[in-house]
Structure 1
Amino acid sequence: MLRGFVSADPSFRDRYTQLEISALEIEHGDEWLPVRGKLVLKVPHYPEFEYGDSLLVTGLLETPPVLDDFSYKEYLASRGVHSLMRRAQVTALGERRGSGLIRWMYGQKKVLRGVIESILPNPDAGLLSGILLGLGHTLPDYLAEAFRNAGLTHIIVISGFNISLVSQAAMLVARRSLHRWLALGVSLCAIALYAFFVGLSAPVLRAALMGCLFILGLLAGRRSHPLTSLAAASLVMTAWNPLTVWSVSFQLSFASTLALILIEPALARRAYAWMTGAGGTGWASSWIRGVRDVFLATLAAQMATLPIIWYHFSQVSVVSLLANALVLPAQPPIMILGGIAAALGRVWLPAGRLAGWLVWPLLRYTIVIVQGLGELPLASLRVPSIGAGVVWAFYGLLCVVFLPGRRGKLGSGGRSLKAQPPLIKFGIPALGLVALLTWVAVLSLPDGKLHVYFLDIGQGDAILMRTPDGHTILVDGGPDPLLLTSRLGQVLPFWQRRIDLVVATHADQDHLAGLIPVIERYDVTHVIESPFMGEGALSNHWHQVLASTGTNLILCHRGMQVTLGEDLTLHLLHPSANAVHIAETDDNRNSIVLMAVAGRCRVLLTADIDALAEQELLYLGQPLSATLLKVAHHGSRSSTSTAFLDVVNPQLAVISVGEDNSFGHPDKGVLDRLEAVECQVFRTDLHGTVEFITDGQTCWVKSARTWR
């Protein structure tokens, strides 16, 4: 048992939150002894903790492991953390410690992230938060994995471009009213403040130090020398914390920057020489200027970072060069337009949302490219491990190939590109963007059909309905708040911030946890919940959020009907409001059961009810016949009995289940029973998000693989 405080911004993951704790005292017998050091541990998402919260912690202290392909021990050591705690139990002590300035900084980052999530849907908001604020774990796991496979994780971390943009913006504003030297001082302060604000990770600190050295050189009347600046920045970082040299992020940042200084110019000279040897010089100079920043810079950085990635992760991206060439040109306007949208949204949210329309197509383009390439079967390959000797040999070869020779300019005789009129340079892209947004808006309008999306959110339930006239209903939210909001952002129109009805069937984490940020970020009109939600930490936090947002809460009861427009009616079949004979601790059995009726098509949503609840529905003679059945409890053996299926007689069934889950869902017996009634089964672990569409007469099912 020990006492300490949260010493870093909590890291919100898919099913847990990781806390970094600075220990102050540890229990030894009957006394408390002072200690120093940091540890990391996992806690549930709720209740939430913040930087500076004092905690009483119990659990098993361990040394971080060294895995086969990654040293978690060295990674944590570079952050000053040397222990981790398993099976942690945490109690808040109600005190605040740490730096007030750091607490304010984390608070402002949280506010800005909230602004970004208010003006943009996820996962676009998560991507912009990573690019602008340097926040980690803002993307759902499947998308973060696609970024890794595509070799594009570097665009969601703060880089030299961010620092350069901040410096230039500060300089532009300051020069209007200050002397040049004072303006340079303002720019220097802006770099330091931005680096401190986003967090002094290795790439940020390296870029900030190089930026500061550049400005100090201008103040001293000296020209900047990039190679010297990189060496000086690295010297300062490793002198302050020698363990920085073992940080993978530092190694990658150093190698890529060194490649841009040394290898990229050499590649450009060789490309120019090859082209001029093949004929003319003018077109060669123009071509080199056009592709240098994208293709050649990417190639140089890939060559320099390949040995590090191979050494640490035994994994190589095959599509990295293509992915970078397609995505990198969109990143500067994303930073500029995204920064403007966030700033406007901080002042006046409607203005931020309007500006967000301009950056959203670029963010969604980036995500589409990353998913398309990163999810290819051979996008990333596992390769045999290599030793440090091979890494150094590779860098020696790079030195031999690229460092000899003198630097020279690219053909000065080449014709220059003629400056384009502003109408051509900015007007045509602006018109194209307006046309794109118009078509996206038109295609997102209601089409007169009911759409029911069984969202792929892992081991849990989340069902979104869009009625023929545009109303939205969300039933449950799955276990991962970030993943749910990302799925919603991919299905709903990008401007939509309203959900008419949310239904919380019961208080299990795999149904309720994802709904909490929906209440916080969307304008939710009504919430229906089971009368048996319990008193746990998750349920209590849920009700606190409902109370703080003023959302209208309705307790369900058997026989309740909800009509949305003229085309959809929801019938609540279970539980009864006075079902005292059912143990309140069994929240699965008390789950809400819904029948959605649209014309001749009926969709039965059974949440996590078991065979006893099914028997009660049969005994009461509830109208259970349905076109589509959402199989109860992810296909658990305790549900979906033969008698229940005989009455429901579904043509289609959807099982919402996580891939390779530890529960063995869905049960083979359930699948056999569904096959016996000739029901076609879709599974989110195999088909991804499953979309059921009906006009009230005919039904279609759309999944990642099939139209039926």
Structure 2
Amino acid sequence: MFFFWIILAFAAGIVLASLLALSPLLWGVGAILFALIAILSRKYSFLAFPPARRHWLLSAWVLLAALAAGGLRYALAQPTFTPQDLAWYNDRGEFQITAVVTKTSDHRSDATYLTLSARELYDPVSQQFHRISGTFLARTGVNAAWQLGDELQFIAKPLTPSENDGFSYRAYLARQDIYTIVYSPTAVKRVASGKAPWLAQGMEWLRQKARTAILSSFPQPESGLLEGILLGEDNDLPAAVKNAYQDTGTSHIIAISGFNMAVLAALFFAVFSRFCSRNWTTLITVSLLLLYTAFVGGSPSVARAAIMATAAFTGRLVGRKGGGYNPLALAAGVILLIEPRLLWDASFQLSFAATLGLLLFAGPLQQGLEKFLQRFTSEETSARLSDPLSEYFLFSIAAQITTLPIIALQFKQLSLTSLLANPLVLPVQSLILEGGAIATILGMLWAPLGKLAGAVIWPLLAYSDRVVLLLERIPNGVATLSGSAATWAGIGGIVVVTLATLRLKFKQFFEKLRFLWIAAGLVLVTVLVWSIALRQPDGELHVQIIRAGEETAVLLRSPRGFSLLLDPSGDVNSLAANLSQELSPWNFHLDGVLLTRRSAVSSAEALNERLPIRQAYLLPAVYQSNDDTSPVSLPEEISVTQLHENASLRLDEEITIQAVAADENGSALLITTGNTQILIPNGVDPALLPQVVPTVLLLQPADLENLPADMWQARGASLIVWESTRVPPEPDWVHFTGQAILDLATEGTRVKMH
């Protein structure tokens, strides 16, 4: 597996070059120098390092040459822009741009995204036309109907894609050679059509025919699922079903992944091997995979899946027919040679890790299963049973062992139901892919034939959807990780994979220190169990005042563990850090935020970048707009619920949160659980508040501008909490004394401080 280590060194060079700002010349000189020394070391033994090697390609000089070559490739991939590039004009004003649509329009619920290739730019300041080039992304209206090959002319501001702490949109697009994005272009008109290559237009026509056949042959959501499996388009899949596949770790099914490509390769090989020699069959199979890649759009992710599947197929990587480390490394090397920045791409990492998992663990897992079955059956029977069990269950586990660290690091979450979901839905995917393709082709020829064939495949599609929707309902099925927990989970997984890769080297070492390794494993499991157990719900409602720099925010944690943050404000980094102390590092998210005033919206957006928010509840003062205010917009990943003026929000069916008064300052809230009432005036005029005697009164400095402290005390609250980092006006009010969090717990009529 010498190629494996060489490509690993090449990848390490890419990483090193991203950290060191060295010129391509230095990397190139280093690569040539190390390569020359490696060649000379074959003749002059004193140059060999290390001296004893079974294969000279694994000498340190070869690996150093590969490392320098990786650095050179990364340095050469860094873009430089001139006035002939569209990116040169980023953030410099508004221009008239002429460009050609180069990919199928991406229609979404709120917008249509176009991928275009720039042709010409008119600068209104200098009144000059410039011939330019560069691929860019345009966000247009929902009903935009531009087609592949249309030449468009419009007015727009070229912008540099954004980036933030959680996700760099700029780096994501750069991996696709896109360095410019435009929003809401105006005066859009078509000046020509048919500008795309004839092959691309022909494939687009076939793809649209296939989509029409699928939608007419299958009901929703099954048609959306088959469209994702066959065409790699999931825009027609309902959001609830799409989220279910994501939460159960089966989203690879609704994309053109290496799994889809491997199934197609096996199908093509089985069909053509009956008529052709092995070499011709392999050539035809690879050619058809490339043709299918072009048919579904040829996106970078699909091309990577095709390359990985081709490597897996030609190297016979799956199961006990392994020994394909070199083909896998060669495929990864080709991909990184074409685009070195893909090393940071999640889909590339997952494709590589899944295939590596099959190499490392598929064989040992199947062999272990066979040995276990031989205790109860004959050797022949155990071998016959182990094949399907391994293919549909153990191989899925093998791939997930190596992909889980990547998922933890990239997405900060782990699907705990994936180990159950994948074995349940993967066995039918081959039949869906093959039968769905036949039904689609028949539907393209004659719609009634497609419907007839679709009736046979529909139950399998419906089964997949029902399984993931059912498993999604399992409580805590998705663990959202904090940054540190994700890092440690990722590091732990990478260590396991590394040790597995070098298991033969370390076999004797492990046997000598077996007790030590067992003890270390038990300590690790104990830490994990306690980190989860200490943050389990305790059956009480917790009202926590969280420091956010010089300001504060209120966090409610229900008896069953639902977390709701009221009006985030202040220093977002401080707020996120203090909230993290109250949340499990293995289920790191806020279930919801309640926004009572518009000023909290921007804080919620910033907080979501550091701490995922699943749901936002908006009161009318937030979502209602007029001539002076624009509509509120939150990130797409946050589900938004608009509450009516007199509506109440219920937590765990036993806690009610109601807006009892509102003015220009915000909305006053009354939280009721059993006989306990907690009133939060939120700066609202006291004359508008209900005449209730609350158990707990949460006051902030704005409340004292409307009513003095003694008048608030006259309301008869059993406990007054000063919701501020400032000194309280009355010494007996509960307040901060240096801590970051004030924790009040209620159970029945009792209120206590934690």
Say whether the 8 Å CA contact 1:310–1:385 is kept in structure 2. no
Q: Helix, strand or coil for the counterpart of 1:62? A: coil
Q: 1:115 and 1:237, CA in 2 relative to 1: closer, same or farther beyond 3 A?
A: same
Q: Distance in 1 between matches of 2:184 and 2:322?
A: 52
* 1:568 paired residue number: none
* 2:403 paired residue number: 305
* 1:95 paired residue number: 192
1:321 aligns with 2:416: no
1:52 aligns with 2:159: no
1:267 aligns with 2:365: yes
Once the two structures are TM-superposed, the CA of residue 145 in structure 1 deviates from its matched residue by: 1.2
Q: 1:668 and 1:22, CA in 2 relative to 1: closer, same or farther beyond 3 A?
A: farther
Q: Helix, strand or coil for the counterpart of 2:244? A: helix
1:140 to 233, 238, 252: 238
Q: Distance in 1 between matches of 2:255 and 2:482?
A: 28
Q: Distance in 2 between matches of 1:215 and 1:264?
A: 15
Equivalent residues in 2 for 1:207-606, closer than 5 Å: 207-210=305-308, 212=310, 225-273=323-371, 284-386=382-484, 391-392=490-491, 394-401=493-500, 403-405=502-504
Percent of aligned positions with the same letter in both sequences? 30
* 1:81 paired residue number: 178
Q: Helix, strand or coil for the counterpart of 1:8? A: coil
Q: Distance in 2 between matches of 1:215 and 1:177?
A: 19
Q: Distance in 2 between matches of 1:296 and 1:213?
A: 21
Q: Distance in 2 between matches of 1:112 and 1:396?
A: 45
Say whether the 8 Å CA contact 2:261–2:306 is kept in structure 1. yes
Q: 1:328 and 1:171, CA in 2 relative to 1: closer, same or farther beyond 3 A?
A: closer
Once the two structures are TM-superposed, the CA of residue 111 in structure 1 deviates from its matched residue by: 0.9
Once the two structures are TM-superposed, the CA of residue 358 in structure 1 deviates from its matched residue by: 0.6
1:24 aligns with 2:123: no
Q: Helix, strand or coil for the counterpart of 1:121? A: coil
Q: 1:47 and 1:86, CA in 2 relative to 1: closer, same or farther beyond 3 A?
A: closer
Q: Distance in 2 between matches of 1:204 and 1:17?
A: 21
Q: Distance in 2 between matches of 1:378 and 1:670?
A: 25
2:209 to 111, 117, 124: 111
Q: 1:370 and 1:51, CA in 2 relative to 1: closer, same or farther beyond 3 A?
A: same
Question: Which of structures 1 and 2 has the larger relative contact order (alpha carbons within 8 angstroms, sep 6+)?
Answer: 1
Q: Distance in 1 between matches of 2:647 and 2:385?
A: 64
Once the two structures are TM-superposed, the CA of residue 637 in structure 1 deviates from its matched residue by: 12
Q: Distance in 2 between matches of 1:148 and 1:7?
A: 29
1:64 aligns with 2:157: no
Q: Distance in 2 between matches of 1:396 and 1:381?
A: 21
Q: Helix, strand or coil for the counterpart of 2:392? A: helix
Once the two structures are TM-superposed, the CA of residue 660 in structure 1 deviates from its matched residue by: 8.7
Once the two structures are TM-superposed, the CA of residue 305 in structure 1 deviates from its matched residue by: 1.1
Say whether the 8 Å CA contact 1:171–1:184 is kept in structure 2. yes
Q: 1:320 and 1:69, CA in 2 relative to 1: closer, same or farther beyond 3 A?
A: farther
Structure whose CA Rg is larger: 2
Say whether the 8 Å CA contact 1:130–1:136 is kept in structure 2. yes
Say whether the 8 Å CA contact 2:258–2:351 is kept in structure 1. no
Q: Distance in 2 between matches of 1:670 and 1:317?
A: 32
Q: 1:349 and 1:85, CA in 2 relative to 1: closer, same or farther beyond 3 A?
A: same
Aligned partner letter, 2:110: R
* 1:7 paired residue number: 102
Q: Helix, strand or coil for the counterpart of 2:118? A: strand
Deviations 1:86-121 (A, max 9, x none): 333351223132322112212211110101111111
1:40 aligns with 2:140: no
Once the two structures are TM-superposed, the CA of residue 290 in structure 1 deviates from its matched residue by: 3.5
Say whether the 8 Å CA contact 2:140–2:183 is kept in structure 1. no
Once the two structures are TM-superposed, the CA of residue 83 in structure 1 deviates from its matched residue by: 2.2
Deviations 1:131-162 (A, max 9, x none): 11222423122221111111111111223443
Say whether the 8 Å CA contact 1:20–1:41 is kept in structure 2. yes
Q: 1:257 and 1:203, CA in 2 relative to 1: closer, same or farther beyond 3 A?
A: farther
Once the two structures are TM-superposed, the CA of residue 272 in structure 1 deviates from its matched residue by: 4.0
Once the two structures are TM-superposed, the CA of residue 60 in structure 1 deviates from its matched residue by: 3.7
Q: Helix, strand or coil for the counterpart of 2:136? A: strand
Q: Report how many residues are paired.
A: 420
Greater CA deviation, 25-34 or 361-370? 25-34
Aligned partner letter, 2:422: N
Say whether the 8 Å CA contact 1:318–1:380 is kept in structure 2. yes
Q: Distance in 1 between matches of 2:431 and 2:390?
A: 18
Aligned partner letter, 2:250: L
Aligned partner letter, 1:87: S
Q: Helix, strand or coil for the counterpart of 2:100? A: strand
Aligned partner letter, 1:381: A
Aligned partner letter, 1:71: S
Q: Distance in 2 between matches of 1:4 and 1:72?
A: 22
Aligned partner letter, 1:300: A
Q: Helix, strand or coil for the counterpart of 1:55? A: strand
Q: 1:313 and 1:5, CA in 2 relative to 1: closer, same or farther beyond 3 A?
A: same
Aligned partner letter, 2:499: V
CA RMSD of aligned residues (A): 3.5
Q: Normalising by structure 2, report the TM-score.
A: 0.51
Say whether the 8 Å CA contact 1:636–1:667 is kept in structure 2. no
Deviations 1:182-238 (A, max 9, x none): 4443333212211221233455334433554577789xxxx9952222111111111
Q: 1:127 and 1:90, CA in 2 relative to 1: closer, same or farther beyond 3 A?
A: farther
Once the two structures are TM-superposed, the CA of residue 341 in structure 1 deviates from its matched residue by: 0.7
* 1:692 paired residue number: none
Q: Distance in 2 between matches of 1:351 and 1:179?
A: 34
Structure 2 unmatched runs, 5+:
1-94, 506-622, 627-635, 650-754
Q: Distance in 1 between matches of 2:498 and 2:361?
A: 9
Say whether the 8 Å CA contact 2:408–2:489 is kept in structure 1. no
* 1:187 paired residue number: 285
1:154 aligns with 2:249: no
2:227 to 104, 129, 149: 129
Q: 1:264 and 1:182, CA in 2 relative to 1: closer, same or farther beyond 3 A?
A: closer
Q: Normalising by structure 1, report the TM-score.
A: 0.54
Deviations 1:379-401 (A, max 9, x none): 21211114768635531222324
Q: Distance in 1 between matches of 2:442 and 2:328?
A: 35
Q: Distance in 2 between matches of 1:670 and 1:234?
A: 54
Q: Distance in 2 between matches of 1:379 and 1:303?
A: 18
Deviations 1:246-296 (A, max 9, x none): 221111111111101112222233444455579975665454333211221
Q: Helix, strand or coil for the counterpart of 1:92? A: strand
Q: Distance in 2 between matches of 1:66 and 1:323?
A: 34
Once the two structures are TM-superposed, the CA of residue 15 in structure 1 deviates from its matched residue by: 2.2
